[in-house]
Amino acid sequence: MIDPRLRTLRTLRAQGTVTATAYALHLTPSTVSQQLKQLAHETGVRLLEPTGRRVKLTPAAEILLNHADALYSQWELAKQDLAALAAGEIGSLRICGLSSTVAAFVAPAAKRLREANPGVRLRLSAVESHEAFHLLESGEVDIAVFNPTDATPPPSDRRFEQRFLVDDVEDMLVPSDHRFAERDSVELAEFADEEWVGMPSCVDQHQLLLSSTAAAGFTPDIAHHADTWSSASGLVCTGFGVSLYTRLVPIPAEHTVVRLPIHGNPVPTRRLFTAVRRGSAAQPAIARGLAAIREAAVPAAA
């Protein structure tokens, strides 16, 4: 806090007398005089000169008051910044999610947040679902978009608050000359004898492929692996197999492939959720972030 004796000196400058200063500050005249004497002693300069019934500020007092005015101005700015921080208008918001979700709707949501709240620093990162919870717990991110897997905490975990976001339905991706390329839709079991393009076993998509094909009654022959959606599409395009492909990610224009909706049971679907540290969802910046992500995710997954 700013030394209250500076406030007394500032009030004296405005009021002109010790008595009027005491009245304005709800103090006794002796208290005002004592504070001014202490301030003069501590600064080592003479602050006042008597002029009849009034007192005159010395040049040293004027210099001190110039600094006091700057201090009070800075204090008001500090209070303004603290109020803005409490309102979520400044500070930082860190969001992570699966690469497909970051591209499809997290980044667009963040763009709108940045335009509406230019004082908030936004930081985005693409990570796998199990990594997202480590980042949440360590305080490195504030919001995570994830797909529940065996490696993610259950909804009952008291450290986090998890909310359903959208279902990300996946389609079959086949080469343009595939025997099913002219079909309107396909069943997953029809691809039991095909070679597949898969993702690395550490990636959430790999688990979805295995669980979906198991439910369809077969184990996929994963002959090739891609580490991005674009590379998976490229492998399919050049005839190295078929693949599941999220609707969140557009197919590169140069890839001659066909996206086929899957009907029957199962329809491979990633259930996407948001997660925050429990108790943090009501913080203004995080609440706005969650709302923006939900607003962007629903049309992106449609």
- Give the mean pLDDT of the chain: 93
Confidence category of residue 256, pLDDT binned at 50, 70, 90: very high
H or E element: which one contains 50? strand 48-51
Average pLDDT over residues 182-186: 97
284 and 146, same structural domain? yes
Q: Report the C-alpha gap between 199 and 241 in whole angstroms.
A: 13
Provide the Cα torsion 230, 233, 238, 244; round to 10°: 150
Record the pTM. Answer: 0.76
pLDDT band at 78 (very low <50, low <70, confident <90, very high): confident
Task: Find the domain containing 36 and state its range.
Answer: 4-86
pLDDT of residue 115: 95
Lowest mean pLDDT among 83-92, 139-148, 185-194, 213-222: 83-92
**3 state DSSP class of 175:** strand
- Do 180 and 241 have their domain in common? yes
Residue 262 and residue 279 in one domain: no
Indicate the number of domains in the chain: 3
Token digits for 276? 């925050």
3-state secondary structure of 265: coil
226: Cα separation from own chain's centroid: 29
Instruction: Retrieve residue 92's tokens.
Output: 């930082």
DSSP symbol at 154 = P
